[in-house]
Amino acid sequence: MEVIPVLDLVGGQVVHAKMGDRDAYRAIDTPLSPTSDPVDMARGFLALHPFTALYVADLDAILRRGDNVAAVRRLRLAFPALRLWIDNGAADATALAAILEHGLGFPILGSESQKNGALVAANRGSDAVALSLDFRNERFLGPAAILESPDVWPRRIIVMTLARIGGGAGPDFERLRAVLALAGARKV
């Protein structure tokens, strides 16, 4: 098992995610970091453990309200050996390529950002991207064809239950088991 800490970014700052209610997210206040700056927060995580990867959710890009590319670039410069998993709401090949072209990190395709299953299908079996299967409670977020067609999934899958994030409920083990049953040899 690999544990990957998460930085949710809004307006260049790390925010405290609370059960998927993105409009209520505020700058994080934690003993791990003196500020909500992404570089400070990453240092706080790395002081806990020598993590090799960090998941960065660019919530502004996901919500189509701008982006946090400058903050991600600062993270890349500060921690060149750290693998950055980047969810920028990529819904087409151009947005996906932007992550790779700028050398920002490993792209995540969030199901909630997909218009249809085409981008996921174009990355069938790929090691170059990961697919995040996004849920809010029992509802799948994204085109049903993505969830219903595990044969088109890339080799890495993330199971994201937004309503549980920051709620103290822990992982959604039932959902995880269901995806594992569909995933075959993929890394979940």
Domain locations along the chain: 1-88, 115-188
pTM: 0.87
Q: What percent of the chain is predicted at pLDDT more than 90?
A: 67
Higher-confidence position of 25 and 33: 33
> CA–CA separation, 136 vs 175, rounded Å?
11
> CA–CA separation, 14 vs 152, rounded Å?
33
| pLDDT beyond 90 at 187 | yes
- 159-183 pLDDT, tens per residue? 988 776 766 777 888 999 999 999 9
Give the model's pLDDT for residue 25. Answer: 72
**For 185, phi and psi rounded to 5 degrees?**
-85, 5
Give the model's pLDDT for residue 1. Answer: 64
- The three-class DSSP label of residue 179 is helix
pLDDT band at 24 (very low <50, low <70, confident <90, very high): low
| pLDDT beyond 90 at 34 | yes
| Residue 187 DSSP symbol | B
> CA–CA separation, 148 vs 75, rounded Å?
36
